[in-house]
Chains A and B, each alone.
Chain A
């Protein structure tokens, strides 16, 4: 249970405060309601590149990291298809330094050409490191466009290709900032050894003077239902073949999400999970097998993937997974299997609440979804899922016509 207070500034900035006196630290999390899904299809990867530029100095402060480190702080950020999230932790006694820094870069950036040039290169190296120079790395460039045909989830957060990053210019950066980086497109959450009064005063001082912006109303193309099975085969120089099966599912706020998360646990989480026991241990077809969901704000995908053992064909592997999926369409999961998955979720929530950073990210995320208080209702929502819900959802989602299959074939030597 995370207690919090919430208020909104006149310029539209939403603020959440959670007090935890067991720590000497404070955490400041700012979520901007912009992600890769908001990008121009011809300029993909921009939200993420922009995240890097947010560290290149703001209008009054030439460097972001230096003063924060002087204050004993540490920070990072991430960009997803849906959001861009910046966070820092520092000794609570130096909280004002965080407000000074974060408010200045919400006010305006330095827009330095040098920073743009360098961060373009850094992001290109990141692209290479994660997607090109990694065995199996390019799978994450292929999967989105296999599953999505019109919705912007069809490109990955890093961008469709390196050229989109290479040719980003300062005018694009300025326009992006103006469009999305304003108080009424952000959620600020402060957790740790702080008081609500203190946070209110700091917000009035540092954030209230920032003028309201005019973020665009989101109007994204809706992905039409998939009606027939899709297949893609790639051949690469990797030691073992891999298979990916993607199924369209609901969005984060839907019941579908809770159902599919539990199902993913039942299928592959731990040594007693279904697919692990059946396909890894008993049939010895895979060296590893995983199922998980895209935790996305618009309708997402459920992925089942495995790496094949030597001598197993992709067709055999595919048939074995399909057989397991068919079981889910014809019979409810065992009561014990579901109970187990729910208990795990509960424990994970309790463990996650040890960290003020996790709490700050969670409260911000649920506020974006509609209500920070929902962060405390998650476990309840998972516990509300029944065996029948899983059966119904499986029948609706896990059919072959809703599935895209990627064969990632190892080149034979």
Chain B
């Protein structure tokens, strides 16, 4: 036992000097027909992830739920195989499929061991190019989702999350529409066929591959996705998008349950695009407010008051809009008190510069977090996707890392005053009437 020297357990061990963060960038490649492939060859495991992205997000749909239904139904049957056969063919080799729809895009992703790529690719091609949208499967899909919708409607948190974007963007606008039960009955096979035909085209497509990606794999991707003629781009960008925000800033929705013991809170506002000059400083400000475990909202509302199990804030960037939101579920009796505390924290950011030690902590934390977010092949592919979707390049991350060294308390206070004044904040509570 090292008894001669008393161990100093009080002083924190010294930190290493900031080293340069090494960002592995995606490489761009073009298939014979012009479909772009971006790839990250990294990692130690024999795994491959291929994400095929289409500009086929929910904002393109004319009929509610069609973008999501089209995307989910891709794996429910093709001209050659039933849903069960498709699943069997993938399962047999331990490959798995993920379909996903966001507001701006839809994607079909396959994860596979490198040794089974030849089994996975033909299925991926088939369900993207030749879905049959069988009537029976569609009915089951809609029926089961309708039931899930009803369960979700019982959750204050989900009700708040669904209603908040429509307060900010307007229910009839892209990004703001809130799904209603009866909309499940309006989705027809023809809608899916038409949506697929229009948006799931090579001209509307990009591929991101990560993991063990070599030239052989790129050629194989070319065999399956590089031969069809690209044709026209059907994608129409939203021009001069203007949100239709609600008039009332303070909103309340009664809890769907009689015996509710918690209320859900959402607060926030419309922001700017990811390309905006304030995007990076505001994200740092957001971290201080509610973007990490030690944030001001967590410290005050959970760790000091014990009103909640968790509270956080985030900035969401869509292609044509952005928004900021704070979310929490709190005990019904303390809901009002929690809202008051949230406003206090916003006000504090506007009126007092962030103390130097807190700012340094957040900078260091975000640096570590940035390294974590770049760790591993799939994470690297995601970092690429998140700049590519906004037509940005890797200089965004350079600026971000740079800001983590240089941003000042004064700049952050300016950000707070510009964007977090109480008058600009929308508030939504789903819970018990006082």
Enumerate chain A interface residues (CB-CB to B < 8 A).
10, 20, 22-25, 59-61, 65-67, 69-75, 89-91, 93-94, 96-97, 99-100, 103-104, 107, 117-126, 128-129, 132-136, 204-206, 208-209, 237-240, 269-273, 277, 280-281, 284, 287-288, 307, 309-310, 336, 339-340, 343-348, 350-351, 353-355
Known: A23-B375, A135-B154. A91 touches B16 (CB 8 A): yes
For A60, the chain B residues whose CB sits under 8 A away are 9-10
Q: Is the CB of A97 within 8 A of B15?
A: yes
Using A91-B367, A93-B16, A240-B147 as known contacts, list a sample of 6 further A-B pairs with CB atoms less than 8 Å apart, ordered by residue number in A.
Answer: A25-B375, A125-B309, A208-B1, A272-B88, A288-B144, A350-B45
> CA–CA, A120 to B302, complex, Å?
11
For B153, the chain A residues whose CB sits under 8 A away are 239
Q: Is the CB of A118 within 8 A of B305?
A: yes
Nearest Cβ on chain A to B14's Cβ, whole angstroms: 8
State which size class the interface on B falls in.
35 or more
Q: Is the CB of B262 within 8 A of A72?
A: no
Q: Is the CB of B369 within 8 A of A74?
A: yes
> CA–CA, A62 to B418, complex, Å?
35
A-B residue pairs, 8 tightest by C-beta:
A72-B368, A121-B306, A347-B94, A93-B16, A271-B87, A272-B87, A239-B150, A287-B144
8 contacts between A and B (CB under 8 A): A74-B369, A93-B15, A128-B331, A270-B91, A288-B144, A309-B147, A344-B96, A351-B47
Nearest Cβ on chain B to A134's Cβ, whole angstroms: 7
> CA–CA, A346 to B45, complex, Å?
13
> CA–CA, A129 to B257, complex, Å?
14
**Across the A-B interface, how many residue pairs have beta carbons closer than 8 Å?**
227
For A67, the chain B residues whose CB sits under 8 A away are 12
Enumerate chain B interface residues (CB-CB to A < 8 A).
1-2, 7, 9-10, 12-13, 15-16, 19, 21-22, 42-47, 75-76, 83-88, 91-96, 111-113, 137, 140, 143-144, 147-148, 150-151, 153-156, 257-262, 292-294, 302-309, 329-331, 360-362, 364-365, 367-369, 371-372, 375-378
> CA–CA, A307 to B95, complex, Å?
27
For A132, the chain B residues whose CB sits under 8 A away are 261
> CA–CA, A13 to B152, complex, Å?
46
Query: CB within 8 A of B309: which of A122, A287, A351?
Result: A122
Nearest Cβ on chain A to B258's Cβ, whole angstroms: 7
> CA–CA, A93 to B111, complex, Å?
32
> CA–CA, A91 to B20, complex, Å?
12
For A117, the chain B residues whose CB sits under 8 A away are 306
Known: A22-B43, A25-B371, A347-B113. A208 touches B364 (CB 8 A): no
Known: A65-B294, A129-B309. A70 touches B364 (CB 8 A): yes
Nearest Cβ on chain A to B179's Cβ, whole angstroms: 15
